[in-house]
Chain A
Amino acid sequence: MSLIEASSISRIYRTGDVEVAALRDVSLSIDAREFVAFVGPSGSGKSTLLNLVGCLDHPTSGSLTVMGADVAKLDRSAAAAFRGEHLGFVFQEFNLVPVLSAYENVEYPLLMVRNWPPEKRRAQVMKMLAAVGMADQAHKRPDELSGGQKQRVAVARALVSEPQLVLADEPTANLDHDTAHKVIALMKQMRDEFGTTFVFSTHDPKIMEAAERTFMLEDGRLVHQEQRA
């Protein structure tokens, strides 16, 4: 069974009498351990699709299951619990909590979402920081880190609770070219190391090349998919 199964999903936003279709009739299937990119220009529906897969939004029509869960049937609390249990997120602007150190940012999901015991938590956080090469920067606050370092911490935070799926919305958009490639390489390395499925969005053709499978979106429609490796 696929990890993600979308069947003719659409997402239509209504503002008064105006309807905007952000996603139209998209069907796709993603298996475990895949390294997948949603690609396309701005406004193509990449982020909308990621939001739906990340249980942050509900499809207007169609069926979407993520790890067997029907996304449309999850209410606010159930969706939050599902995200905390099964998903990791990496954001374009890193979105680290500024008052917490790198260690504390990575610890946050285990402490505030999963309630892991302190010893187990400490070992896991250090393991993840070491895995992304940030163990020696653990005590630093986000404003003391470079963009690339922040995104490494963000990747560690996404992986720390050992989710099956990590979703990354334009994770390299705010990074220079070299750093962007390093972050993508890190994500791939994490996939290899921990077996986590990675789905990220990008509009950068060079970054897109790192994906093993790409789904090309235009005007909310899935126009092309390609297996690269």
Chain B
Amino acid sequence: MIATLKLSARNLMRYQRRTWLTAGLITIGVVAMLLFVSAAGSFKNVMIGQITDSMLGHLQVHRKGYVASVDNLPLNLNIGAKMLERVKTELAAEPGIAAMSVRLKLGAMFSNYTETTSIRLNGVDPQAEEAAAPGLRTRIIDGDKTGPLVAPGQLLIPDLIAKGLKVKVGDTVVLVATNRDGSVNGKNFTVRGVLEQVTGPGGRDGYLHTDDARELLRMDEPEAMEVAIRLHDMGALPKVEASLASRLEKLTNKEGKPVLELHSWKALSPFANIAGMIDLMTLFIRVMLVAIVLVSVMNVMLMAVYERIREIGTLAAIGTPPRRILGLYVGEGLLLGLIGAAVGVGLSLGVVALLNVYPLQFPFGRQIITLQPTLSLQEIATVALLVVGMAVLASLQPAWRASRMDPIQALRHV
């Protein structure tokens, strides 16, 4: 085996320029692939992290039909107090769940006493919300970043409204909301902070204390429109989602029908489609890499066989077994793949390290995204194995041809 590989290496060195060109082409393919994967992966992780950590959580529980009409923030599709207690019990029993936040979602009129606009609000328990959406605090761009997220009488407002209505931290504003029965209620608040707007649903919502939300809506019992859930491990999302769905399925109404629905962040955020597109593009680039390796290695190996027909005849004549001749040429393909993959992986790791020292920033909507690309061992191994595997596959046909060559015909070749 080692002897065969040594001879394969010598053969590759016969035409050094051709060998390095081919290995270079494979290297470029590997670098392009790995850099795309790391940059796109970084973008995906930043966005998903932002969406799940500062807004949606990983999973959400609603009353059936709520999500379909979420734009109207309906007040008649609440999870009632008794049902909410049963939901909390089920969630507490699920080991994959790290935290949950019960939210009262409402629409209201926001006024600075001279101008008025509409606002979407989340009534939350600050501690529970912080546990379920730990990134929310990082979105406070104006105001004290320490202390309780939002105390009774305080309001966190989106920057769009702060700018539009020229409202500053510490200003007094008034919220007017209509409750389920159609009666109107108003309450004064102090602006505790301004939130950076982020992409996705809830990215322009304000926050107030859950007691204030109940007071505004004249809600006697602790009801909820939404329960946001954070998992210990996001990788376990499908497993926990399935387990929780079967738990919630048991919570039925008087007719014995399930009253709740469970959604993952993917079902709630349009960014899931962008993430899907990124995955699809990664697949396309992978296919291109496969094509580059297949075409370049097969071309070189076909040339190598054609140029060395008489030599193949000699080796066959002196008794070299066909499988060994096959091994010689497959060995050349394998080495080309190994060189391309090794140099490509090394260069990619270097560029990724450089990008972490000098991070790339680019605007996405109203945000500035900072890329911090990383390469996982799994991704490196996948690409390296793919390249080496394709190089071996590409050399198989020429190698098979060489091993099946008639020695007499081969020896006569000019």
Residues of chain A touching chain B, judged by Cβ–Cβ distance below 8 Å, are: 51, 54, 56-57, 76-77, 80-85, 87-89, 91, 93, 95, 97-100, 108-109, 111-113, 157-158
Contacts and interface: CB of A to CB of B under 8 A. Distances in A.
A113 B320 contact: yes
B314 interface: yes
A112 B7 contact: yes
> Do most interface residues of chain B lie in helix, strand or loop, or is the interface mixed?
helix
A228 B321 CA distance: 38
A76 B13 CA distance: 30
B411 A91 contact: yes
Given A80-B316, A84-B319, A112-B3, 13 more contacts: A56-B408, A77-B321, A80-B321, A80-B322, A84-B321, A91-B314, A93-B310, A97-B311, A97-B315, A98-B14, A112-B324, A113-B318, A157-B318
A83 B318 contact: yes
B322 A89 contact: no
Nearest to A96: B314
Nearest to A157: B318
Nearest to B319: A84
Given A57-B408, A100-B10, A112-B7, A87 B311 contact: no
A80 to B, nearest CB: 5
B404 to A, nearest CB: 8
Q: How large is the interface on B (under 10, 10 to 19, 20 to 34, 35 or more residues)?
A: 20 to 34
Contacts of A51: 408
Given A97-B311, A112-B3, A87 B319 contact: yes
Contacts of A158: 318
Contacts of B317: 54, 56, 83, 89, 91
Contacts of B314: 89, 91, 95, 97
B322 A76 contact: yes
Contacts of B10: 99-100
Interface string B41-66: 00000000000000000000000000
A216 B320 CA distance: 31
A85 B318 contact: no
